[in-house]
Structure 1
Amino acid sequence: MKEDSPLKLDKLAAGNLSDNIQEFEFVFIVHLMFKMLLFKNELSRALEKKDQDIINAMELLNLAKIRLQKMRESELESMMDEVYSFCGKHDILIPKMVDDCPRLKRKRSGVSYLHHFHVEVFYAVIDLQLQELNNRFDVATSDLLLGMASLNPVDSFPNFEKNRIMKLAGYYKSEFGDNQLRDLSYQLDSFIVYALQRDSKFLNLKGIKDLAIVMLTLILPVATASVERAFSSTKLIKNDLRNNIGEEFLNGCLVCKIEHKLFATINNDAIMDRFQRMKPRRVEL
């Protein structure tokens, strides 16, 4: 294009590109990015396997972080040797590393080539990759994934770890208060003993989906009984004489009917005080 393009601007652009790709900095960056792409491709292919489990995936991520850190600490010199060798074969000028690296043509920067390539390019690229992995798979995400993996029933719960599940529950503050977390700790101890030794329902499960189905079948009779009680109470309260009862009033009546044992422990004075404070009334109860 530099020689044969009919357009002058295309010739100029091609000439500039041709000059740039024959500079040491371009060769250095290409070698570095080639290593980064090889590394990320290997990690991506491993994580995208259909049979990849969460525990192994998290181990691969930790290994990737260690690999990047090792590369940052000890592999710069070997990569520089590769770049020197490539430039020597292709007659590319190698700058003196102690000289200043110009930010613009013919303008000195006060920063040496050595500092520029080591800190501003090599370290900066690796640190960016480490930061990206940490952002995408932070502590909270890792805890959630490992907690879910601990519930995987394949091969008799091989990854079951109580502490990971407790961490998982701790992220759901609205569902698990201090008392619920205490109860969960005890229940997990009982669950793993029950699942492994006493009940054939938990054998030969293929994944968390199968575990959820088994747990649903265990709680379904209780849930069904609760629903039946609610429907029976509804039939008693919303009869022909109360056919136009409002939804809010109906809900209040149902709570009182279904939870009658709880309401039996509350004295009438407390109920009247609560009713009196709901809004101003003409008569004091």
Structure 2
Amino acid sequence: MKQVKATCLIEVIVKATSFIEVIVKATSFIEVIVKLSGFFTKKQRLNPNESGEECSQIPITNQSIPSVSNPNATPQTPITNHSIPSVSNPTPQTPCSNQRNDNVDLKDLPKDPADRPLITSYNSNIRDDVRRAYLLQGPCQVRAHNFPKKKIGDRFRRFVPSWFNDFDWLEYSVKKNCAYCLYCYLCGDLMGQKGGRDAFVSQGFDTWNKKDAFRTHVGGVDSFHNKAREKCEFLMREKQAINVVLRRQTEAEDNKYKARLRVSIIVVRLLLKTGLPFRGHDESVNSENRGLYIEVLKAIRETSEEIFNNTLENAPKNNQLISPKIQKELVQCFAQEVLLSIREEIGQDVFALLVDESSDVSKKEQMAIVLRYVDSLGFVKERFIGIVHVKDTSSMTLKNAINEVLTSNKLSFSQIRGQGYDGASNMRGEFNGLKALILQENDTAFYVHCFAHQLQLVVVAVAKKHDGVSDFFEQISLVVNVVCASCKRKDLLREQARERVQKGLCSGDLETGRGLNQETTLVRAGETRWGSHFNTLTV
């Protein structure tokens, strides 16, 4: 009978042991579920590195988890209406929020540690500014507060204000009656997740009977707290910060660049005003004459040590502002400024369009565009706004080129009230000429044949039809050819002209003055400019 009872007892023990093993495995399975929940919660967050707490919590209800270390112990009280926070942060400091603080007033930051949001909730661009503001503000040390007592064991304990003197990093929250660490709060995110598990960073420290916990928190030289403190000290050394050094260096380079640009603008303005060429035949370093642009720049830099130290060979090789491309860009900038002033002077007012085309030395067809308008003071002005290379002289090509120039200057065909061209068929044609195409766009753009061109055509036609005038200018052309072919004949002509001027001055027939009685030579008459005939006759 005893053996049967013993056998039954053994079977009961074996079944109990198996039941305990099942419970242990179930407990391990629950722990795995909790960890997996924290892992997937991290994956679903928008920016897991920017927050020190997890929003997702797993409620466990109507279950009993017995102690694993004591299999014979009775099941514990069921866990109801509670939640197990994420493993990455067992006790959050503030309510979970993924919202970022982008608009922050550094002069109105929360002073109580319990009211402060996580440092990672601030935008990364202003996070250092927030840290620096808190360090300048100092730790929240309320010394005159009536610290409440808390029963710990069989005695009442409270926060001691003298601890502020022993630990300069110590902060006290009146709202939660807890102590915090300022350094670990500000720079804890830079040290990893370890700081989130410290009571001085997360939920706050309120075990007032354990003062040694303060020294334990400080730890050794390489402790989490001391590393955070070191980073705060580095942050306060603003003059040694990388961004400050880079900003200072950038400002110095900007000042040097502005000095080079300023003197380059002076040189370009001088050459443009006087109509002198920029480039030279040989602009190498060993050349004796590197062109007017560089030579004038070399002359100006001798007057100032600052300019001398920031130009030519003293400037970076990739930023000397002397390349042909840079020179053209500077000239283009001046051209844009001139066009802007013309455009502002015209505004929404009307103007007349003057166009003429001719081939240059390189045998390229060029079209010049001039605007004639009345300014705000009532003065009539004619302003050249551009010269355009055209592939052919057809009316449609010319119209498209004119349209591009006007559009680039924020003008339009609707503002045109007059057209002035020569008498070529592609310009004044009644059906397909440039005049007709523009009239189709704007019927108020009246065409006027250029008076100077009309006079030229009339004078040349009359001179060719009159035998005496034609023979006279033919003889003049032969004289010019004979005299200009020999230097001796030119010298004789100049000597006779000088003697004639002297006699005229002595007799009072000629007057003296600037630009009068200059030494000249014979000028060949041109077929397209009747004024050249007058210059030939007045030598």
What TM-score comes out, normalization by structure 1 length?
A: 0.29
Flag the structure with higher helix content.
Answer: 1
What TM-score comes out, normalization by structure 2 length?
A: 0.18
